[in-house]
Chains A and B, each alone.
Chain A
Amino acid sequence: MKEFAMVYRSEPMGEIKLTAEGNMEVSKEWENWMGSAAAQNKLVSPGLRLGNEGRVVKPGNVVTNGPYAEIKEIIGGLSVFRADSIEEATERAKSCPILNVGGNVEVREIIQMNG
């Protein structure tokens, strides 16, 4: 078994909505998609969701406001799954909800670094 990162990109999502309890609202589609992987014991980590605000730091201490000036697409988040091959991971990515909003998924194998 290997581990794969899935990086989600799309146009900046709208305001992150909060539920009555103050938790981030996760849409049913995302929950079902993650839940499906979790039920197969193939979800390593639901991962991180990134906020819309960003900074980019370049050499010479140059700081700009996020990557928005040039690019329409930003990284929305990242999760980790288990799979035997990149083909298997890619097959799972085909049902990712980000695709329904015109976004895309990048699938990359995670290299285990020995400490």
Chain B
Amino acid sequence: MQEKELIPYLYRTEFRKITAVLCRLFGIEHITIAEDIVGDTFLLAAETWGLKGVPANPAAWLYIVAKNKTRDFLKRNTIFNEKVSPHVQYSTDESHEIEVDLSSTNINDSQLQMMFAICYPGIPPESQIGLSLRILCSFSIDEIADAFLTNKETINKRLYRAKEKLKQDKVQIEMPPASEIGKRIETVLTTLYLLFNEGYYSSSRNTVLTKDLCLEAMRLTHMLTENESTDKPEVNALLALMCFHASRFDARVDKNGELILYEDQDISLWNSELIKQGERYLNRAAKGELISRYHLEAAIAYWHTAERDSPEKWEKVLSLYNRLLMVEYSPIAALNRTYALAKVYGNEAAIIEAEKLGLDQNHLYHLLLGELYSEAERQKAIWHFTTASKLTKTSADRTVIRKKIEKLKH
């Protein structure tokens, strides 16, 4: 790897690991101090390696420097020292130095515990995601701002407020007791699901970044499956869902950055390895009696990777959307259900159902009706597509809609 790329790469992989360990050491009230120490470590790396060359084991170098900086900090702040978490291990040294444990076990444990601490219902979802990106995924403030299509100041404020709330509510960095894990995992999964969606449906122009968001969400979800106490069926179902969606990354966007719709995608660009992974996790999810919304969504995603267009597929997909809506309503599920209904029972029946949905301020609703009217009533279809174009917020959508209208006019 080029020396220039080494530090950013290590930043992405190691920042979060060291930060998680230090956060746990210092407690939730001092997350910023942990971030600062690790930030300083990387600054030193950037300064030193340029002059003295890259060390033989770069990651180990970072760990040693971070440990030293932590010890120095604790020595200078004795009050701080006394409050340090009981998990701290003391070395056999007579100097009673704080041992910073950067073993892979402690790194994984710390990250998992941080995940539960950050995915706290007391702070708003976008803050949970923001903090997750910062602490769990090593994203810079600039990158987070880009992901949310906002600016640095907004993100800094958001993260600051979130940390204050965690402090205020005295959130502990620890694994929840077994009796509570089921409930706390729900919040974690919602955050990971939203994080994945940020990448998948993002309007950001930076496609490398948005893909990264999805991959990070998958990595964190995968971490949960690797730990016995959090390896639940719904976690596996969510991971399966993410794998299926991610398998179409390369087929979704053309070289100009424009969206390619599902039915127009080049199947050879679908990642079959990810599809296989998805199937594997879907199987692992098929344990126990509870069918979560993730199970249903993963099953739907599975059908979309398995086949393009068969009567059986659409009947199954319709049934799955029925069940999903019975568990939880969402406008997108309602619209997708109607599309599946059209495939099974025809456009006319679907139009009748669609008009009862009460979603006429939603551009996707008009996109759907445009599709449904395309064959039988062209003028109505054009009207709906035009309305959709006026209601949508992204230019990628407008381009797609424009093409549909043109197709109809010929």
Contact = CB atoms under 8 A, between A and B. Distances in A.
Interface of A: 28, 31-32, 34-36, 38-41, 43, 46
Interface of B: 318-319, 321-323, 325-326, 329, 333-334, 337-338, 341, 353, 356-358
Given A39-B337, A40-B334, A32 B326 contact: no
A9 B358 CA distance: 31
21 contacts: A32-B318, A34-B326, A35-B322, A35-B323, A35-B326, A35-B337, A36-B356, A38-B325, A38-B326, A38-B329, A39-B329, A39-B333, A39-B337, A39-B353, A39-B356, A39-B357, A40-B356, A40-B357, A41-B358, A43-B329, A46-B326
Contacts of B319: 28, 31
Contacts of A28: 319
A59 to B, nearest CB: 39
Q: In the complex, which of the residues B318, B326, B356, B358 has the most CB atoms of chain A within 10 Å of its own CB atom?
A: B326
A38 B325 CA distance: 5
Given A32-B322, A34-B322, A35-B321, A41 B329 contact: yes
A87 B338 CA distance: 25
Contacts of B356: 36, 39-40
Given A32-B318, A35-B325, 16 more contacts: A32-B322, A34-B322, A35-B321, A35-B323, A35-B326, A38-B326, A39-B325, A39-B329, A39-B353, A39-B357, A40-B334, A40-B358, A41-B358, A43-B325, A43-B329, A46-B326
Contacts of A36: 353, 356
A35 B344 CA distance: 14
If over half of B's interface residues share one DSSP class (helix, strand or loop), that class is named, otherwise mixed; here it is helix
A102 B385 CA distance: 44
A43 to B, nearest CB: 6
A39 B325 CA distance: 6
Contacts of A38: 322, 325-326, 329, 334
Contacts of B353: 36, 39
Which interface residue of A31, A39, A43, A46 has the most chain B CB atoms within 10 A? A39
Contacts of B318: 32, 35
Contacts of A31: 319, 322-323
B334 A41 contact: yes
Contacts of A35: 318, 321-323, 325-326, 337
